[in-house]
């Protein structure tokens, strides 16, 4: 499981037509797609997904934004997946993301930052399990 991570293409990137370009970058970087779905979060499910941020000042806005449109959720596989994926996407704030990273290329703001990437192996498993049944993430 330590070679897996979880990602979402967020509503801003879906609305801007970047699904294909972002998936191309992910696959070109050597990640294999284990499971993937085009779906959407409700206020309730986004609130549950981001429960760890409940006390943060940006929580309400984050939940509203993440339930504002369609998303793509995926489980990805690669050696050192969590760390390598975070390098591929760049800093949370796109103005601080290195050139060539997904957030540098496709994100507009710290909230509408194009993609999510798990921050640990433990959270990668929790987040993948949130969206995918055992059958789907074989
Ligand atoms: P993500 O990696 O999906 O996890 C938490 C999200 O909160 C983060 O991406 C950002 O999109 C969002 N967010 C909004 N405002 C902030 C902020 N000030 N600091 C950190 N994260 C923020």
ipTM: 0.91
Q: Which domain holds residue 127?
A: 4-131
19-25: Cβ within 8 A, 24+ apart: 19/72, 21/105, 21/106, 22/102, 22/106, 22/114, 22/115, 23/72, 25/88, 25/102, 25/105
Residue 136 resides in a domain: no
Strand ranges across the sheet with 32-40:
32-40, 70-77, 4-9, 115-117
> Is 116 one of the catalytic residues?
yes
pTM over cut 0.90: yes
Quick check: 1 pLDDT over 60? Answer: no
To the question of whether residue 42 is assigned a binding role by annotation, the answer is no
To the question of whether residue 113 is assigned a binding role by annotation, the answer is yes
Mean pLDDT, residues 89-99: 98
Residue 138 resides in a domain: no
pLDDT for 49 equals 98
CATH number reported for the structural domain that contains residue 57 in this entry:
3.30.70.141
Out of 58, 61, 85, mutate this one to test ligand 1's pocket (max ligand atoms within 8 Å of CB): namely 58
Task: State how far the Cα of 65 lies from the Cα of 49, in Å rounded to an integer.
Answer: 13
Number of domains in the chain: 1
Residue 137 resides in a domain: no
pLDDT level of residue 138 (50, 70, 90 thresholds): confident
Residue 44 resides in a domain: yes
Residue 69 resides in a domain: yes
* Token digits of residue 88: 């591929």
Residue 18 resides in a domain: yes
Task: State how far the Cα of 50 lies from the Cα of 62, in Å rounded to an integer.
Answer: 8
Nearest protein Cα to ligand 1, atom 3: 116
């Amino acid at each position: 499981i330590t070679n897996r991570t979880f990602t979402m293409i967020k509503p801003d990137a879906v609305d801007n037509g970047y699904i294909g370009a972002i998936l191309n970058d992910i696959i070109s970087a050597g990640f294999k797609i284990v499971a993937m779905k085009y779906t959407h979060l409700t206020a309730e499910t986004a609130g549950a997904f981001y429960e760890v941020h409940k006390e943060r000042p940006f929580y309400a806005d984050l939940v509203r934004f993440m339930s504002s449109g369609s998303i793509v959720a995926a489980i990805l596989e690669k050696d050192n997946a969590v760390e390598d994926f975070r390098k591929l996407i760049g800093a949370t704030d796109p103005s601080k993301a290195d050139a060539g990273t997904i957030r540098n290329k496709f994100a507009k703001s710290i909230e509408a930052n194009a993609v999510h990437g798990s921050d640990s192996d433990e959270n990668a498993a929790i987040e993948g399990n949130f969206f995918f049944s055992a059958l789907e993430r074989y």
